[in-house]
Amino acid sequence: MPYGPRNESTSREWLLVIAAGITVMLVAEESGTSVAVGLALALVGVVGLAWRLLRNR
């Protein structure tokens, strides 16, 4: 395995994006952030994960 940056994202990275989006949605009311920000982040994570999984087929 070569060292250095890799060009492909892993499924774990997309799952972290989804988890971050859900976390932002859960704390949106307390922090004053819009729920739409968390929803957009979670949606980006779902699309990225689907793209990653379907691309490997």
pLDDT confidence of residue 44: 93
pLDDT confidence of residue 29: 76
Residue at 32 is within a domain:
yes
Residue at 26 is within a domain:
yes
Distance CA 26, CA 31 (A): 10
Distance CA 13, CA 6 (A): 13
Residue at 4 is within a domain:
no
Residue at 5 is within a domain:
no
pLDDT bin (cut points 50, 70, 90) of residue 34 is confident
Residue at 1 is within a domain:
no
Q: How many domains does the chain have?
A: 1
Quote the domain boundaries for residue 46.
11-55
Residue at 2 is within a domain:
no
Given a contact cutoff of 8 angstroms between Cβ atoms, the answer to whether 52 and 18 are in contact is: no
